[in-house]
Chain A
Amino acid sequence: MMNPLAVPDQHRNKDGLMADFEAVIGLETHIQLNTVTKIFCSCKADSWQDPPNTNICPVCAGLPGVLPVLNEAAVYKGALLAAAMHAEIRLVSYFDRKNYFYPDLPKGYQISQFDLALGDGGYLDVTMPGGFVRRVNITKLHLEEDAGKTKYEGGQRLVDFNRCGVPLVEMVTEPDLRSADEAAQYLIRLRQLLRWLGVSEADMEKGHLRCDANVSIRTAGSTYLNTKTEIKNVNSIEAVRAAINMEIERQVSLVQAGGQVESWTLDWDETRQRLNKMRSKETEADYRYFREPDLLPLELTSEWRDAVIQNLPELPLERQLRFMTRYQLPEYDADILTADRPIADYYEAALTAYGTDPKILSNWIMNEVLRMQNELGLSADALTLTPEYLAEVIRLVDAGTINAATGKALLVKVQQSGQPPQAIVAAEGLSQVSDDSALQSVIDAVLAAHPQEVESYRGGKEGLFGWFMGQVMRQTRGQADPAKTRALLQKALQGKR
């Protein structure tokens, strides 16, 4: 497969023998859209911690006689994701029935999109740990309904329909990934994108983002595809990494021992950290897909599609690159400051308020704000410490009004109290301005910043004294003692210390 952005992968396993093989991995992801309601009925989409079978209605419980009615928000969010994945949004797409018996599927069929789905094609460029960018192509992107949940208890199966009908986007990649780490990285970037777009909470532990992995191996550098296995039920990034690594090792050992990989479906057992073989699955024809007669074709206008594309925010990778070029940030900083949209917005808002060195600001955010966020478990937009307050604190430090340690402590106080930094400095007497040396340094800075005015003053324009007073007072936010300032300023302007 030609892949213009992909740099040949230098992946080499620790085990020398495995260097002869490369892994070929495709991921099948199910993404829960964070709509208010389910995809085909007006029950709420999120049943987290609701008692079983309480968030159901005749439609999602598959009662006789019910009909699906498509949720416009699910279409919008699905289309937004498709646009972000560079997929074509089909103006006419269809829903189909996928028929099979399972107790968590109340209608005995799942409403999905088979051949003419909402999204057509697409890709995600993923910066891999080695530093190169891998283009991961998308073969399928469609809307469908989620099934319910079953669990095994005491020799019987318990069925809960609360999750039935939650809107999902199923997204399937080409077999473009070459290692467990790459698969994990793809998921990390996909999760980032989903949250960035606001289309999914993308919490793997809660099942908002689910992943099945198709794994095969082949002689390194070859282009053919071997028989693959499918790993199901991998519900964290770490599980994806572990399960795929384990399966690659199993396949390599098997082939090296002269065996052949069979097309198995494997189940990841999280507690025991191992793979189990599942019963051979039905072939696709047995699902007997046909057009869902209860829904009309999904017809979108080109105006609507254009509006979706217009609403697409600047994507994480684009923004990272802009941070690097426009603000001259190192890649490391730019990556971290674009981890999610709130932090990227926070950075840019703070930069506007701060007005000067983007790197100094970046350091403050990466060291102080991110730590605060992690400790509090808040996203950047939920902090009481606004970007403007942050900028003010940094300026106080820059101005020598407070020292850096005080500044860091002040950030915490602002976050806790919600008070403006200046008010806290005043109330708690944090200012260094009463002490001569601090005031002296502000005066020195003002004089250094305005050499022409100093020259004019010294040339006889003594009327400028008041202007200098004003500058110093402004720099110190009026915290300086005016008498002391006058004395020190006079000395300084006379060239004396």
Chain B
Amino acid sequence: MSLTDQSAFDIAHKIQRGELAAVDVLDAALERIAAVDGRPGALDYGPLTQEDQTKVHAFITLTADRARQKAERVDARISSGEDAGALAGVPITIKDLFCLKGVPTTAASRILSNFVAPYTATAIERLEDAGAVVLGKVNMDEFAYGSSNESSAFKPTTRNPWDLTRVPGGSSGGSAAAVASGQGCLSVGTDTGGSIRQPAAYCGVVGLKPTYGRISRYGVIAFASSLDCPGPLARNVRDAALMLSVMAGADTRDSTAVRLPVPDYLAGIDRGVKGMRIGLSKDYLQISYPDPDTGETIMEDLPAEIRNMTLRAAETLAAEGAEIVENVPMPNSIYGIPAYFVISRVEASSNLHRFDGVKYGYRARASGGDLAELYRLTRAEGFGLEPKLRVLMGMYMSGGQLSLQYFQRALQARSMIRADFETAFDPDGPYRLDVLLTPTAPTPAFKMGDFYGDSTLMQYSDQLTVSANHAGVPALSIPGGLSAEGLPMGLQLIGPDFAEATLFRAGYAFEQATADADWRAVKPCVLAEVE
């Protein structure tokens, strides 16, 4: 097993004890990248070659030299007896939505293709301060607007390490694919409607959307500010917990980052689920979407293998001592996607206002035009279709009367979704849940091109994840098994505000209980060749 396939927890401990050198871990990671990733995403990518189709393409920017300096610094600290941090020498990747000083930060968009951030995001600063070694910036949907990575302006876009004809999910697809294929141990993503959890499920890794406000958003290019949550992606629950411990906490630069103390998420992670009340909801075992022709809402059961995986997981947890509470009603989750269509677009359209060719990034070569012309050309050439679509919808939804008709109703739906969770988790209520157990995504990873272009159906792949964003509550996606086609399926554990420790505990218990399961031994296909 390559060093890069070890857990972050083990690597950091071995480096802290001087048993392992950070540069050796870095070399292993770089070697893996060279073996599986292929060429990084670029604006001028030319035709897709045969070889391109055999690679993951997680990266946009590889920062190998910078990483080596950091790794050497970690080793120097260790040899001089200093504390090198909780993530000493752990190689990580960063979704290219986070600003990192002196490094290109593109949001996978042409409009930021030449932007070099003059400052560093708080979450990244904390990871680096804890000794993490940043390998580079990884691909994503343009401005995080998508669920497949296909909308990135930097191509080739990321492929799923389990099946290279399939998407890695999105928008943090590069992060999930990198972690799954051993290109670093950890990755930092963001989750607005499911953008950490859905790709984590598709790529068979762990992903956490923390409680809104648990991790500072400072330095994260905004998508929908009231929903955006930075969070960890890792290969196991304990690594995700370790990473959250480092990233979480108040920040004087983010007024929405709570000042609650950060618990030690590793302490008690192995206490098991005995006595824990874990809920199942029928509303999370079906999917609803509008008929493309009539607009009528169609309700369907989820595919049997997804349902069965979820029910089996409940049985596993019950066997570990958890109390399973069935039929927890979450009736307002059907409004999750419609409300998301409105709220996220209204906020996104405003957040994208600043990209105008004046201050940074791409500027159209407008010859002799006036300022309005410069704006129009820059934005027409700089944004891909998905951002344009989101901005237009946001513009439509926030004007005058329509704001009342749609935006106010969407906010109302958000309150009602939140109320569902409050009822479910209410310690004096009828359900008194610690955790709600659901599938993460309605299907395993789909084929590239299957939905791309149909923005409505694409959005519905977030149906099971988006409600946690509306409610602000934390949700953890962990691998739950493999589909008949050998693709990862994700389980989602949702808890009340700031109950991340409970989610980790339940997730860890499931991991331990299924450690010897056959499906755990199956690795992504891209790793078959390197071993």
Distance, CA A67 to CA B226, complexed state (A): 12
Contact B220–A69 (Cβ < 8 Å):
no
CA distance A69 to B254 in the complex (A): 6
Task: Answer whether residue B222 sits at the interface, using C-beta atoms and an 8 A cutoff.
Answer: yes
Residue of B255, B356, B398 touching A288 (CB-CB under 8 A):
B398
Q: Is the CB of A288 within 8 A of B350?
A: yes
Q: Are B222 and A69 in contact (CB under 8 A)?
A: no
Q: A101-B353, A107-B354 are in contact. Are A290 and B222 (CB under 8 A)?
A: no
Let me know if A293 and B226 touch, CB within 8 A.
yes
Nearest B-chain residue to A156, judged by Cβ: B371
Best-surrounded residue of A68, A106, A108 (most CB of chain B within 10 A): A108
Q: Is the CB of A64 within 8 A of B99?
A: yes
When distances are taken between beta carbons in the complex, the residues of chain A under 8 Å from B98 are 65
> Looking across the interface, which residue of chain B has its beta carbon closest to that of A161?
B359
Contact with B along A152-166 (1 / 0, CB 8 A): 000001010000000
A106 B395 Cβ-Cβ under 8 A: no
**Chain A interface helix/strand/loop/mixed:** loop
What's the least CB distance linking B454 to chain A, in Å? Answer: 27
Nearest-neighbour CB distance to chain B for A160, whole angstroms, equals 12
Q: Is A429 an interface residue (CB 8 A)?
A: no
Q: Closest chain B residue to A157 by CB distance?
A: B371
Q: Is B284 interfacial (CB-CB < 8 Å)? A: no
Contact call B254/A67, Cβ cutoff below 8 A: yes
Q: Quick check: is B519 within 8 A (CB to CB) of the other chain?
A: no
Q: Which of B390-446 contact A (CB under 8 A)?
A: 395, 398-400, 403, 407
- Give chain B nearest CB distance to A216 CB in angstroms: 25
**Residues of A with C-beta under 8 A to B119:** 58, 63
A474-B256 Cα distance, complex, nearest whole Å: 69
Q: Given A58-B118, A65-B222, A106-B359 in contact, is the A290-B398 Cβ separation under 8 Å?
A: yes
With contact pairs A65-B218, A101-B353, A108-B353 given, residues A293 and B105 touching in the complex (Cβ less than 8 Å): no
A290 to B375, Cβ gap below 8 A?
Answer: no
Contact B99 A290 (CB under 8 A): no
How far apart are the CA atoms of A108 and B357 in the complex, in Å? 12
Which residues of the other chain, A, contact B355 by a CB distance below 8 angstroms?
A: 64, 108
Interface-centre pick from B99, B119, B352, B359 (highest chain A CB count, 10 A): B359
User: Which chain B residues in 327-364 approach chain A with CB under 8 Å?
Assistant: 346-347, 349-350, 352-356, 358-360
User: How many whole Å from B470's CB to the nearest CB in chain A?
Assistant: 13
B246 within 8 A of A: no
**A294, B398: Cβ atoms closer than 8 Å:** no
Q: Would B358 and A69 count as touching, CB distance under 8 A?
A: no
CB-CB under 8 A from A107, the residues of chain B are 353-354
Residues of B within 8 A of A108 (CB): 350, 352-356
Contact with B along A101-113 (1 / 0, CB 8 A): 1010011110000
B350–A99 touching, CB < 8 Å: yes
A5 at the interface (CB under 8 A from B): no
A56 to chain B, nearest CB (A): 10
- Residue B132 is within 8 A (CB to CB) of chain A in the complex: no
Which chain B residues lie closer than 8 Å to A64 at the CB level? Answer: 99, 105, 107, 112, 115, 117, 221-222, 354-355, 360
Q: How far is the CB of A220 from chain B (nearest CB, A)?
A: 37
| Contact A296 to B256, CB < 8 A, known contacts A64-B221, A65-B222, A67-B218 | yes
Whether B225 contacts A294 by the Cβ 8 Å rule is yes
| B57 CB–A CB distance under 8 Å | no
**Cβ contact of A290, chosen from B107, B254, B255, B407, cutoff 8 A:** B407
Q: B217 within 8 Å of A by Cβ? A: yes
Taken together as a complex, chains A and B put the C-alpha atoms of A432 and B375 apart, in Å, by 81
Smallest CB separation, A42 vs chain B (Å)? 9
- Asked if A63 contacts B350 (CB within 8 A), the reply is no
Residues of chain B contacted by A285 (CB below 8 angstroms): 399-400
Across the interface, which residues of B come within 8 angstroms of A70, CB to CB?
Answer: 255
- Is B252 located at the chain interface by the 8 A CB criterion? yes
Question: Is B359's CB under 8 angstroms from A62's CB?
Answer: yes
Task: Please give me the residue from chain A that is nearest to B112 by CB atom.
Answer: A64
User: Are the C-beta atoms of B350 and A290 separated by less than 8 Å?
Assistant: yes
Q: Answer whether residue A312 sits at the interface, using C-beta atoms and an 8 A cutoff.
A: no
- Report the minimum CB–CB distance from A296 to chain B (whole Å): 6
Q: Is residue B474 within 8 Å, beta carbon to beta carbon, of the partner chain?
A: no
Which of B105, B256, B407 neighbours the largest number of chain A CB atoms within 10 Å of its CB?
A: B256
From B255, B352, B371, A69 is in contact (CB under 8 Å) with B255
Q: How far is the CB of B222 from chain A (nearest CB, A)?
A: 7
Within 8 A of B (CB), among A32-71: 58-59, 61-70
Q: Are B255 and A294 in contact (CB under 8 A)?
A: yes
B282 close to chain A: CB less than 8 A: no
A298 to B175, CA, bound (A): 36
The closest CB in chain A to the CB of B105 belongs to A64
- Say if the beta carbon of B219 comes within 8 Å of chain A: yes
Please, what's the 1-or-0 string for A436-470, where 1 marks a CB less than 8 Å from any CB in chain B?
A: 00000000000000000000000000000000000
Q: How far is the CA of A63 from the CA of B112 in the complex (A)?
A: 11
User: Provided the pairs A64-B99, A64-B115 are in contact, do residues A101 and B254 lie with their beta carbons within 8 angstroms?
Assistant: no
> B221–A65 contact, CB under 8 A?
yes
Q: Which residues of A contact B255 (CB under 8 A)?
A: 67-70, 294-296
The reply to whether A61 and B359 contact each other, CB–CB distance below 8 Å, is: yes
Instruction: With both chains docked as a complex, state the minimum distance between the C-beta of B203 and any C-beta of chain A, in angstroms.
Output: 25
Nearest opposing residue in chain A for B213, CB measure: A296
A-B contacts besides A108-B355, A293-B226, 7 pairs, CB < 8 Å: A64-B99, A64-B107, A68-B255, A69-B252, A290-B407, A294-B256, A296-B256
* A-B CB proximity, top 5 nearest: A108-B353, A285-B400, A293-B225, A293-B226, A288-B398
List, sorted by A's number, 16 A–B pairs whose CB atoms are closer than 8 Å.
A63-B99, A63-B118, A63-B119, A64-B105, A64-B117, A65-B99, A65-B217, A65-B219, A66-B218, A67-B256, A101-B375, A103-B356, A288-B350, A288-B398, A290-B407, A294-B255
Chain A residues within CB distance 8 Å of chain B: 58-59, 61-70, 97, 99, 101, 103, 106-109, 157, 159, 285-286, 288, 290, 293-296
Residues on B facing A (Cβ under 8 Å) = 98-99, 105, 107, 112, 115, 117-119, 121, 217-222, 224-226, 252-256, 346-347, 349-350, 352-356, 358-360, 371, 375, 395, 398-400, 403, 407
